[in-house]
């Protein structure tokens, strides 16, 4: 932090090192859950309103949480955030902090649950997310403003599939299909990948060639909405090559795309900026929230 007291900078670095070391020693379960719990505790409501457990379909996992900004109006932009977790874990409640943070900036944020492995496999989770988006557009008391899909990691793949492959939203009955989307925001999203480890190979066994493919036909890119691609260059779970290649394909297809790559930022680290104060503590090196805010505002104001 330029201009900060050297002793304070040292203290922040020490806090960061200890936090990261603690997560590394705690193992996968704590690393996957505890930071999200802490993020929810650290993120104030700031006048936002939560409508919890709204049912968008007939199955047990067909529920979503909707966080509304203070004084929402019909034109309030709606962001549908699809959580990650390798298509086998995760829940809407874990991402309350993200809903609150974006709602405090004037957006309505829906976070749906969707079916997970082993109950589900491709394309069940894509169909669930598409159903949630379509339901939100027809449900009462939900803002009708510009519509965005957004996701991290496995959820980023699902959001990419909704934005790039027209069949999913059309099949879900969304008027206009993917043409109803004002934009898509992908964080550390796998786009095109041949999985070679379990359970991902089994999760995608039904997909053509067993591949993870958000856009099976490159011609699909020509109809894509504007896209924001955010990726950490230190991501060893989903390499930044996914974002680079998608950006190049969208540019070649003449579609608007903004690519932001963050040096030193990993797969989970790209989410930390949604926690208030993370930047001040040296826990976030990527201005993700500002990028999302500016992307939404540009689409809302400028079209």
pTM of the model: 0.86
| Model pLDDT for residues 30-49, shown as the tens digit of each residue | 344 456 766 766 666 678 99
The verdict on residue 281 lying in a domain is yes
Total count of domains within the chain: 1
**6-10, 36-40, 79-83, 276-280, range with the lowest pLDDT:** 6-10
| Model pLDDT for residues 231-258, shown as the tens digit of each residue | 999 999 999 999 999 999 999 999 999 9
Residue 34, domain extent: 6-214+224-302
Cβ atoms of 53 and 63 within 8 Å: the answer is yes
Q: What is the mean pLDDT of residues 63-89?
A: 96
Residue 183 pLDDT > 50, yes or no?
Answer: yes
Higher per-residue confidence, 35 vs 160: 160
The verdict on residue 35 lying in a domain is yes
Q: What is the mean pLDDT of residues 42-64?
A: 89
Residue 57's pLDDT is what? 98
Specify the CATH number for the domain of residue 76.
Answer: 3.40.50.1820
The verdict on residue 1 lying in a domain is no
């Amino acid at each position: 932090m330029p201009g900060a007291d050297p002793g304070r900078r040292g203290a922040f670095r020490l806090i960061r090192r200890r936090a990261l070391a603690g997560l590394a020693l705690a193992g996968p379960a704590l690393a996957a859950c505890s930071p999200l719990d802490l993020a929810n505790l650290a993120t104030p409501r700031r006048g936002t309103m939560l409508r919890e457990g709204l049912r968008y379909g007939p199955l047990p996992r067909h529920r979503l949480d909707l966080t509304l900004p203070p004084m929402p109006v019909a034109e309030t932009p709606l962001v549908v955030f699809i959580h990650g977790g390798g298509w086998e874990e995760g829940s809407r409640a874990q991402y309350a902090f993200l809903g609150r943070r974006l709602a405090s900036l004037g957006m309505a944020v829906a976070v749906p649950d969707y079916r997970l492995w082993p109950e589900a496999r491709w394309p069940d989770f894509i169909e669930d997310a598409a159903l949630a988006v379509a339901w939100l557009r027809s449900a009462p008391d939900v803002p009708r403003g510009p519509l965005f899909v957004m996701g991290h990691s496995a959820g980023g793949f699902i959001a990419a599939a909704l934005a790039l492959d027209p069949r999913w939203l059309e099949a879900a009955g969304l008027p206009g299909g993917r043409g109803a989307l004002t934009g898509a925001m992908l964080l550390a999203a796998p786009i095109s990948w041949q999985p070679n480890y379990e359970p991902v190979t089994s999760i995608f066994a039904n997909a053509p060639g067993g591949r993870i493919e958000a856009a099976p036909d490159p011609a699909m890119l020509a109809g894509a909405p504007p896209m924001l691609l955010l990726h950490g260059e230190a991501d060893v779970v989903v390499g930044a090559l996914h974002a680079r290649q998608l950006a190049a394909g969208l540019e070649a297809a003449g579609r608007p795309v903004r690519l932001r790559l963050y040096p030193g930022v990993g797969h989970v680290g790209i989410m930390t900026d949604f926690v208030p104060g993370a930047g001040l503590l040296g826990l976030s090196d990527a201005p993700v929230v500002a990028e999302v805010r500016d992307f939404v505002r540009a689409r809302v104001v400028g079209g």
